Structures are given as C-alpha cells and as structure tokens.
Structure 1
C-alpha cells in the first residue's frame, strides 16, 4: 500500500522560474543584496542548481533586465510616431516604478543584450516610420537618452543617488525657514522653487511633482523633434550654419 505524504511536489527549476524569482526578490531587497546564494535560498535549492540556468550573477542580471523589458508595452504601430513614442516611454516609466532597482541594473550592463538592442531598435524604427531621416533619428535618439527607459537625472534631486532612494520628508515649517534663509543669497532659485505647488510624495526630491516634470520634459523634446522633422533638419546643414538648420 502506497504511503501518503503531505509534502508538496517540488516545482521543476527552469530559467524562467529563476528569473521571475530574482525579479521578485530584487523588488523586496534591492539589486545590491541579490546573490546566487540568496536567490537559491529563496527557491529552496542549492546554489549549484542555479548555474544550470544562469552562469553567474551578470547573466542573471541580463535576464532580469530582459524580463523587465518584456513588461513594457510594445510599440503602437497604428499610432503616429509622436504618440507611439510617448506612450512607450511612459509605459517604461511605469514599469521601472514597479521595479525601482531596474534602472541601476540597466545602467550597469556593459554589453547590451539582444532584448536591450531590440528595445532601442524599436525606438529607431518608430522615428524612421514617422519619416525621420536616419541622420535626424540618430540625433533625437541621443537627445531622448535615458527617457527612453522612463528615467532621467533630475535637476533638483541634490545628488546622483539611485532612483530607488526616496528623499526624507521635509517638515513644512523647516522648509519655509530654509527658503527664507536661502532667499537672501539665492533669490532666483527660491522664486522658481516656490512658484509651483509641490508633491509631498514625490520620488524626485524636495517635493517636486516628478511625474509632471518628466512628462513636461518629454513633451518638450517630442515637440522639438517634430519641428526639426518638418524643417528637414540635417546635421550637415547645422554644422555649416545653413539657414533654417537651427
């Protein structure tokens, strides 16, 4: 007679399960705390079992980045280039906000993986499909920069701290006193810093509405790209100072 056991059958390990577990773990403890040993503990396996699916931590991070990219909405081929790029950038931003460690992982990749290259290629394809010349597409891709991934280095965050680090809350009375003190030496900064209501839950720093600021800058770039495209801009004309090139 076969004995019954209450032990649940062990789920077979594969690369997809390893990567999903790594992403979930990074969401909990951050990317710096991720190690093959720690991930093995999470999966209840010996560390050597992981090496059948990822050779080392660098390959693990590559796979985690690929998984994050797969969460970003695909290009909307039925939209005009401007709407398609805007929607994909904002989808990327939403994805990275769900996984605050992902920015650091993306920026740490020395060699672009196929998924990263395909993602970048999709942006180039949207510009080219919109009628941009390869020359203009090259330069607007540079200008778009990290916003392609949904992030940028903010002006008023006070440091080059990782995007996942949230600045401490500032007491309103202490902030008012600080502005009053600063106004004597830096009146222009105080004027613009206090001109707009601030968001206490901002992740940018000092209460700026980071989502609004991101979309504001993104729309400025897209509007500028559109104007250059309509004028038939080229880097050759700009370099020689040809009229209409700026």
Structure 2
C-alpha cells in the first residue's frame, strides 16, 4: 500500500515489492498465489479504514459521515478508486462493510430496492468526486486558482471567446477562499434530501401522521 500510495497502482509489481522487502520475487509466492491476492488484500484494508454507521444514528447523519469518511480514505489511497469494485474475491472487511451498511439502511426503513438505490447513487457520487479531486490540478489547500490563472494567461481572450467560463473564473474560482472540495457537501446534501423524499414516498403516510391538507382525512373530519 505504501508503494501504491506513493507511485500509483501501476508502480506495484511483484519484483518491486520484493525489492522493497529485501527478498527475491519468488519468495512472495510462498505467501500469495499472485499479485491479484495482494490487490484483494489491499482493497480489503481500504474498506476496513472506512467508518461504519453507529447504532441509533439518524440515517442521513450516518450516510453523510460515511460519505465523508470514504472520501477521506480515497484521498489517502487514490489508486483504490479504480479497483474498489473490481475484485471478485472480496475479503472479510469488504463484506462486513457492505453488509453493515445495508442492514443499517434496512433498520432505518429502507426496502432492499431503495437501499440498493441509495448505495448506488451515494457511492457513485463519492467515488466520482474523489476521482475528480485526485485528477484536478489542486494546490495543497484544495484551490484550483493557480491552474485557472495559468489557463487565463495562456488564453488572454478567453473571457470574450468563452464568456461563461470567464464569468465563473472571475466570480467564483478566483475569489479568495474558494476550494473545489467545498462542492462536495452541496452535492451530497442534494442526494440525501432526494433520498429522504424517495423514502417518504415509498413508505407512504405512517400511522399517527397528520393527514395532508385537503386529503381524505380532512374531508372525513369536516363531514
């Protein structure tokens, strides 16, 4: 994982790993069948670093914390983004993570299909955002200002030729304090609010809920 964290997944080879360990490459095969075994173990460790929901925690709070934890873990191990779901022999931490999150959503009132929808859209968003963060030319503070200024210097007439890009650069990206990472919370909030509405629609009015204005309950009371 240290090799992959520092040089990307392409830097990981059995020969290089053996060299780092001070052994012959063939010695590794006394412990693993192939490089695929090592990748399986690495991915399992990544899943083991992700936070799981706490008992009694509100589901939106839990899913927000889970998303933030996943993003942080993938920032530490950006190589994992591309292979996180590609393993066909998942380890115990991977299985425990998925099973626990599904069980938590079920306990919060999600049906199996709705839990699948929730995990699909949340994981797609979080991992996609993590991939974009890893590929953008951000400075250590998370700002894209320097890269934007460089583009503007190379394209001095951009504001005229591409007015909408120029306006976004001037009014948002080049403003002090702007960091691309702040967009994460905005998108995550939209998704969680949408899931909340979808869950309410699926479950329908619960016993004890006040009837909607103008609904059947109001008519019965009026009569």
Whether the TM-score (by the shorter chain) exceeds 0.5 is yes
Are 1:227 and 2:203 matched, yes or no? no
CA offsets 1:155-207 (integer angstroms, 9 cap, x no match)? xxxxxx886445274263752674x633334433443444324589xxxxxx9
Q: 1:46 to 1:229 in 2, by over 3 A?
A: same
Q: State whether residues 50 and 73 of structure 2, in contact with CA within 8 Å, keep that contact through their aligned partners in structure 1.
A: yes
Residue of structure 2 aligned with 1:86, choices 64, 69, 72: 64
C-alpha displacement of 1:97:
1.1
CA RMSD across the alignment: 3.1
Q: Secondary structure at the match of 2:183?
A: helix
Task: Name the counterpart of 2:220.
Answer: none
Which residues of 2 match residues 4-153 of structure 1 at below 5 A? Answer: 23-107=1-85, 109-111=86-88, 113-114=90-91, 115-147=93-125, 150-153=126-129
- TM-score w.r.t. structure 1 length? 0.67
Are 1:214 and 2:191 matched, yes or no? no
Q: 1:36 to 1:110 in 2, by over 3 A?
A: same
Runs of 5+ consecutive residues of structure 2 not aligned to the other structure: 139-145, 205-223
CA distance in 2, matches of 1:132, 1:80: 13
Q: How many residues align?
A: 196
CA offsets 1:126-150 (integer angstroms, 9 cap, x no match)? 3212112223222222222334xx4
- TM-score w.r.t. structure 2 length? 0.73
CA distance in 2, matches of 1:43, 1:77: 41
Q: 1:162 to 1:46 in 2, by over 3 A?
A: farther
CA distance in 2, matches of 1:41, 1:59: 18
Q: Secondary structure at the match of 1:195?
A: helix
- Which structure carries more helix by proportion? 2
Runs of 5+ consecutive residues of structure 1 not aligned to the other structure: 1-22, 155-160, 201-206, 235-246
Which residues of 2 match residues 149-164 of structure 1 at below 5 A? Answer: 150-153=126-129, 164=134
Q: 1:116 to 1:195 in 2, by over 3 A?
A: farther
Q: 1:104 to 1:95 in 2, by over 3 A?
A: same
Q: State whether residues 3 and 11 of structure 2, in contact with CA within 8 Å, keep that contact through their aligned partners in structure 1.
A: no
C-alpha displacement of 1:86:
0.9
